[in-house]
Structure 1
Amino acid sequence: MKLALISLAKDDLDGQGPIALLPLFAGTLLDLQIQAAQRIGCEKFVFLCPATHGALLQKIDEMKQLGFDAEYVRSPSDLVQYASEQDHIVYLADGIIPNDEIIGQLGAAPQELLFTVLHAEEYQEFERIDLNQRWLGILSLNASRLVAMIDIPDEWEIGSALLRTAVQADCPRAIISDRRMGAGAVSHIQSALSAGQYTRRKLKEMPWGKDNFLNRFLLRPLIKRSLPRLWRKKAAPQYLQIFSLVAGLAAIGLATFGYAIAAIGLLFFGSVAQLARTTMLQFDGTAMGRDWTAMGLDLIVAASVAILMLQASDAVTLLPNLVIFALLLAHLLLLRGVSANCRFALIRPDLRLVLLVLLVAAIFGPISYGIYAAALYAGMTLVLDRYPAKKPTISKDRRGG
């Protein structure tokens, strides 16, 4: 069994408490380390903390309620009690976050590894092993070697003791190159300042994929700017979820009384809130199954627009309007099956873009005009996506003919 050892022995440079409890994203740095350990395949979690902290105890209680095996220790002698000789230890030092490549390496078959970097001035914060290498705070070690730590003094730092044990056992070393370090192979967070720098770097690297112009140039940049503030509220995803559903239900009421502009505006902002919630969960690494909130909001939008269309129709236009509305829904469903990397992704309509078209139509005229325009727009996008790309031809001169 793989056992994760995560250190909370060092305080941040500002003296506010353990580095691992620094706020980061929707939780703490410790949350990211736990997620990394889970991806490595660790089934048991032991937190190394010389002093008791309420936040750590609360985190351990939460993990136990979710079915995880989690404990904390204060000294090397306590550590030996939680690991058997058959276990394999993965140690993460204070403030250390490995990237996906190192996580994948640690997630393979258990092997002893000491992660190091060649000595250079920019790596002064890492502990030196010898004249040539420094330790990156990541260690994979057989638990049977903990026997050598039973008699060490309690005031010794467990991480340094593990390092000495690994070096004396001549464990293989995985040397991380300067290029990989520059690409973020190992992040070392020591203060609120470095935590903020890490957050900004991750936001900059956030993969958006191809998206339409509304999301790409307006909504996603605004969400990206808002994420650091949203992360300060742990319940922000729940608040966004509630807002999107309440806005949708309120829109149905407004549509029933004929307030088209207000109803569509609420639906638009509710959809933006849902997009922000989805982005937060994806960035935090939260596993998402089927998003029932998004599906519910889609149904609410369809119901609200249908009510507004019925109110804008008379006996003559009702049937044509229903047909066009059905075509619009069919087009949107078909567009969801189109790859995100399609050639015309920049103009591909989604729920928010369609609502914006309907909002403009409601401001300047009957909403039925907006439904016609949105259906035509979505249909043209489908046609363009299925139109075969023109293959480059090779002239006779270039072929040598």
Structure 2
Amino acid sequence: MALIALVGASETLPEGGLRALVAVAGETLIERQAARLADVGVTHIAVAVAAVPAELTAVCDRIRRRGMTVTPVRAAPDLIGLVEPDDRVILVADGLRAGGTHYAAIARPGSPAILVTGDTVLTQGFERIDATRRWGGLASISQPMVAELAAMPGEWDMMLTLLRLAVQSGARRLYCEPALFEQGEIAIVADRPTAALIEQSSLQQVEYGGMGLGRSAIMMPLVRLAGPWLVKSPNIARYLPYVTAALWLGVAALTASGLAAAGALAAIFGGLGLAAMRFLSSFRAESAARDRVRAIIRGFALALLALFPWILALGAPQRAAPPFAEAALAPCLAVTILLARALYEDGGERRRFHWLLPDADQAWIMLAPALLFGLAPPMFAILPLLALFQILLWLRLARRPDGR
């Protein structure tokens, strides 16, 4: 059994152009839809089109380069040839922008299902299901429904007819709160002003993400200031991982050359790169893949912190071992940061205190001036103790229901 998606891409904007090609935060709607579908296991996308303009062809080619099969379909007979008897088809409304959790809910194994919401002023762009409910833009159907549509005489709107068949068959209804539409988490982008409002709302609402004092207090605020610029160009998201990885390789090279302070400064910029990657992962089509790349770079950065005194000492002309205190305390600091991360990831409600915990960004920010003024030994002694104090304070606050 395979998951296949039927994505609408035939509706036009009042000012011209296809809804599916509207860019929100530097990413077309259909590319975002393809990324969310890929995250839930879809490998083949059927794009419901009336025509295939050159711009849509270029976007489909980009989606194919990410490993998905894309097939334009104009009528039900085109679709039936792509679907096997035990396949499930996910319907994605034309111009839909929704979160990964909604795609995951509709893609779960089981009988056909429809995402529904209340009939409010904010949901008027969605198809009506009944007197009190409207379609939420996502549905899963079975192959017999596609076959039934293909057997109907005349021309029918594939998306809406399949939705009606699902409703008539008694498909499960997964309810979605209308408040999510007010927040812009789910929307039908019917025009470019709506796209601009959603982009602005997304930039304001995106979470800082992750744990740590250095990231929360310094790195992510700086990244968010540059957020509108970061999301405008797809090239930034494309090349940022390479630039960030190069910065961390530069940290290793500078440290091995004896330029410890310069290496620590490069590490601060590398931390900014990781924070920017985390920020862009909320908007970009490559979010799942970028998260994996970011995890690899982050692991390498933490390893550099643990081995920093060794790299510095072994890169010196005399190749002497580093002082015992630095050689022992740097790995202790890295282990403490890993401990904080493990506690945070298993923290439940305690995650609201994420800014208290130690992280590598905080360590590099404190190390850079210490290395510049020759105060590295005491700083390596202070950082693990400070990190343990931050964890203990976090745990103490976590035991208080009111956080006071």
Alignment root-mean-square deviation, CA: 4.1
Residue matched to 2:5: 4
Q: CA deviation digits over 1:144-198, x for unaligned, max 9? A: 23334555555x5332333444455565655545456556673222233333333
- Determine the C-alpha separation between the residues in 1 that align with 2:369 and 2:77: 70
Residue 335 (structure 2) pairs with residue 333 (structure 1):
yes
SS in 2 for 1:337: helix
**Equivalences, count:** 385
Residue matched to 1:396: none
- Determine the C-alpha separation between the residues in 2 that align with 1:107 and 1:281: 21
Cα gap change, 1:211/1:176 in structure 2, threshold over 3 Å: closer, same or farther? closer
- Determine the C-alpha separation between the residues in 2 that align with 1:353 and 1:308: 20
Any gaps of 5 or more consecutive residues in structure 2? none
- Determine the C-alpha separation between the residues in 2 that align with 1:177 and 1:27: 26
Cα gap change, 1:301/1:240 in structure 2, threshold over 3 Å: closer, same or farther? farther
User: How do 1:368-387 residues align onto structure 2 when only pairs under 5 Å count?
Assistant: 369-382=375-388, 385=391
Q: CA deviation digits over 1:83-129, x for unaligned, max 9? A: 34443322111112344554344223342344444434333322345
**Letter of the aligned partner of 1:379 in structure 2?**
L
Cα gap change, 1:211/1:19 in structure 2, threshold over 3 Å: closer, same or farther? same
Cα gap change, 1:239/1:186 in structure 2, threshold over 3 Å: closer, same or farther? closer
Cα gap change, 1:150/1:83 in structure 2, threshold over 3 Å: closer, same or farther? same
Alignment TM-score, normalising by the size of structure 2:
0.76
| 8 Å Cα contact 1:325-1:375 kept in structure 2 | no
Give the superposition deviation at 1:258: 6.3
Greater Cα shift, 272-281 or 96-105 = 96-105
Any gaps of 5 or more consecutive residues in structure 1? 393-401
Alignment TM-score, normalising by the size of structure 1:
0.76
Residue matched to 2:363: 354
Residue 302 (structure 2) pairs with residue 293 (structure 1):
no
Give the superposition deviation at 1:220: 0.5
Residue matched to 1:395: none
**Letter of the aligned partner of 1:111 in structure 2?**
S
Give the superposition deviation at 1:372: 1.3
Residue 97 (structure 2) pairs with residue 97 (structure 1):
yes
Cα gap change, 1:11/1:144 in structure 2, threshold over 3 Å: closer, same or farther? same
- Determine the C-alpha separation between the residues in 1 that align with 2:165 and 2:321: 80
Give the superposition deviation at 1:280: 2.8
Greater Cα shift, 266-275 or 158-167 = 158-167
Residue matched to 1:160: 160
Cα gap change, 1:250/1:85 in structure 2, threshold over 3 Å: closer, same or farther? closer
Give the superposition deviation at 1:51: 1.0
Residue matched to 1:122: 122
Residue matched to 2:15: 14
Asked which structure has the greater CA Rg, the reply is: 1
- Determine the C-alpha separation between the residues in 2 that align with 1:118 and 1:57: 35
Give the superposition deviation at 1:336: 1.4
Cα gap change, 1:320/1:32 in structure 2, threshold over 3 Å: closer, same or farther? closer
SS in 2 for 1:333: helix
